Structure 1
Amino acid sequence: MGHAVVLGEALVDLLDAEYDGQPVYLPAVGGGPLNVAVGVARLGGRVQFVGSLGDDVLAERIRAFLTGAGVGLTGAVTVAAPTALAMVTFAGPEPDFRFYGNPPSYALLGADDLDPDLVAGADVLYAGSIVLLYPAAVAGLRRAWGLATGLRVFDPNVRPDLFDGPDALPRLREVVAEFAAGAHLVKLSAADADLLYPGEPAEGVAAYLRELGADAVVVTLGAAGALVAAGPDLVRVPAPTVDAVDATGAGDSVMAALVADLLADGAPAEPAGWADRVAFALRVAAVVCESPGGATAMPTRAQVAARFA
């Protein structure tokens, strides 16, 4: 079995909680790409996380967590910055993120920091998320994208709280177009699609990203399932009914499941094969939503099978 390389951010989420009647914040290892890497490992895939980590005790915790989850850190680098934080609050199961840390520890992996052999040897390369807002980090992703010989998957994971002015959205749109054009798979949420292309229906966004060059596009629709654009027809895949407790990491778990299956079986031979892959990925996400936490909630294949026996 080959391996996947996941490029992007790792940080620490501060979760809104209560202790002894007082409001407190619980630290939890997080970051969309980190969640993806952990999810792939939990589903039985070999995976390396490649990103920049701070030089403090929180970064040591991130390293220990990833190592404990079976995620390789060969290509991760330590940078002279404290670990960035994301404050997470909830209104129902959907998390709201606010980010702290300047410079952001997660966005300091440049093109020269990449291990070319590690990236070129990956059967699946994931790139995306909030590092797309930082030009130096994008240069690193761009070099990795060019080195890749395997399947390339992309997730924009848009966080408007990090936009640094009116030019941020148009710049991000350009970056998304660039990476989507060379992607075998683009996964984004309906919220991502709406932020990137306001007023455009999810079906139109999926069709546009395919026109740019993406082989397959998956748009997650929350409780309504997902939209799959891979062949001539758009396919809607329903989501299982769940009692959502915490949706943190749900979208990342969809990507993790798709990456794990690409590692195990390669790309589907026919466009219709994507619907089956997405149906499994939505079951993985359902398990994640039914327990608190993001990276810690990522299930094994056995747990998914048991839940939907």
Structure 2
Amino acid sequence: MGYAVVLGEALVDLLDTECDGEPVYRQAIGGGPLNVAVGVARLGGAVQFVGSLGDDGLAVRIRNFLTGAGVGLAGSVTVPAPTALAVATFVGPEPDFRFYGEPPSYALLGAEDVDADLVAGADVLYCGSIVLLQPTTLAAARRAWGLATGLRVFDPNVRPRLLDGPAALATLREVVTEFAAGAHLVKLSTADAELLWPGEPVEGVAAHLRELGAGAAVVTLGAAGAVVGAGADLVRVPAPKVDAVDATGAGDSVMAALIADLLVDGEPVDPAGWHQRVAFALRVAGLVCESRGGATAMPTRAEVMRRFAG
């Protein structure tokens, strides 16, 4: 089995909670791509995280956490900046993230920092999330995308708070279109789909991504499962019933599970294969939702099998 490269951001989440009746923020290592990398490793895949990490104590914790989780850091760089923070306030079913740090530590990976041999040797390359919004890291992602010889997977993972008006959204839509056109797999959430293509039903978005050139398109629907476009027809795959307490990292775990299976068996040979893999990925996400935390909630295959035995 080969390895995956995950290119994107790593940061520290400050999660809104309470302690002794007082509001406090719980610190957690996060970033959508970081969650994906940890999820792949927990599911048994070999993975390298490529990104820029700060030069402070929080960055040391991130590095130690990733190393402890079995994620390689051969393609990551240290930059002279404090670690970016994402403050998450829970006011609904999904956390509301606000980002702090100027310049953001995750936004300083340049195209020249991308290890060509590492990327070209990967069986799977993941790009996506908020690095798409920064010129420097977008250039790095584009270079990696061009260097890839294996399967390319993409997740826009849109953060509306970081979009400065309609022009920024239009630019992001162009970037998403660019990456989707060359992707073997695109995964996005209902919220992503509604923001990027307002008024379009999720089935229409999945079909559009396929028309752009994506080999397969998966739109996650939360507790309702996912829409899968991987052939002539669009299929809804149901999610398992779970006792959800925290959805943080659920979408990232879906991508992690799909990448882990791509590493084991490559692309499915028919649409039914994609449907089976998405069903497993939704079980992974369901288990993630049953415990608090993003990266720390990523399960092993054995844990998924025990939870959903029979």
- Does the pair score TM above 0.5? yes
Which residues of 2 match residues 72-87 of structure 1 at below 5 A?
A: 72-87=72-87
Measured in 2, the distance between the counterparts of 1:169 and 1:17 equals 31
Which residues of 2 match residues 269-280 of structure 1 at below 5 A?
A: 269-280=269-280
Residue in structure 1 matched with residue 45 of structure 2 by the alignment = 45
Measured in 1, the distance between the counterparts of 2:128 and 2:297 equals 21
Residues 93, 245 of structure 1: 8 Å contact kept: no
SS in 1 for 2:80: coil
Residue in structure 2 matched with residue 283 of structure 1 by the alignment = 283
The aligned amino acid for 2:98 is R
Q: After superposition, give the CA deviation of every residue in 1:168-200 in whole Å (9 maximum; x if it has no partner).
A: 101100100000000000000011000001111
Measured in 1, the distance between the counterparts of 2:20 and 2:166 equals 43
Instruction: Give unmatched runs, 5+ long, in structure 2.
Output: none
Which residues of 2 match residues 209-224 of structure 1 at below 5 A?
A: 209-224=209-224
Residues 93, 244 of structure 1: 8 Å contact kept: no
SS in 2 for 1:167: helix
Residue in structure 1 matched with residue 54 of structure 2 by the alignment = 54
After TM superposition, the score normalised by the length of structure 2 is 0.98
Measured in 2, the distance between the counterparts of 1:270 and 1:28 equals 39
SS in 1 for 2:14: strand
Q: After superposition, give the CA deviation of every residue in 1:13-46 in whole Å (9 maximum; x if it has no partner).
A: 0011222332111110000000000000000000
Measured in 2, the distance between the counterparts of 1:18 and 1:185 equals 39
SS in 1 for 2:72: coil
Residue in structure 1 matched with residue 123 of structure 2 by the alignment = 123
Residue in structure 1 matched with residue 154 of structure 2 by the alignment = 154
What is the deviation of 1:205?
Answer: 0.7
What is the deviation of 1:274?
Answer: 0.3
Does residue 294 in structure 1 map to residue 310 in structure 2? no
What is the deviation of 1:165?
Answer: 3.5
SS in 1 for 2:165: coil
SS in 2 for 1:214: coil
Measured in 2, the distance between the counterparts of 1:177 and 1:79 equals 30
After TM superposition, the score normalised by the length of structure 1 is 0.99
Measured in 1, the distance between the counterparts of 2:170 and 2:103 equals 22
Residues 231, 272 of structure 1: 8 Å contact kept: no
Measured in 1, the distance between the counterparts of 2:271 and 2:292 equals 34
Residues 12, 31 of structure 1: 8 Å contact kept: yes
What is the deviation of 1:256?
Answer: 0.2
Greater shift in the superposed pair: 42-51 or 19-28 = 19-28
What is the deviation of 1:96?
Answer: 1.4
SS in 2 for 1:273: helix
RMSD: 0.8
Which residues of 2 match residues 123-272 of structure 1 at below 5 A?
A: 123-272=123-272
SS in 2 for 1:153: strand
What is the deviation of 1:102?
Answer: 1.0
The aligned amino acid for 1:178 is E
SS in 2 for 1:80: coil
The aligned amino acid for 2:88 is V
Does residue 21 in structure 1 map to residue 21 in structure 2? yes
The aligned amino acid for 1:261 is D
Measured in 1, the distance between the counterparts of 2:21 and 2:57 equals 28
Measured in 1, the distance between the counterparts of 2:165 and 2:221 equals 28
Greater shift in the superposed pair: 100-109 or 159-168 = 159-168
Q: After superposition, give the CA deviation of every residue in 1:181-231 in whole Å (9 maximum; x if it has no partner).
A: 000000000110000011111111111111110000000000110000010
Instruction: Give unmatched runs, 5+ long, in structure 1.
Output: none
Measured in 1, the distance between the counterparts of 2:45 and 2:304 equals 15
Measured in 1, the distance between the counterparts of 2:70 and 2:92 equals 31
Number of aligned residues? 309
**Identity among equivalent pairs (%):** 81
SS in 1 for 2:140: helix
Measured in 2, the distance between the counterparts of 1:92 and 1:103 equals 29
Residues 3, 46 of structure 1: 8 Å contact kept: yes
What is the deviation of 1:272?
Answer: 1.7
Residue in structure 2 matched with residue 88 of structure 1 by the alignment = 88
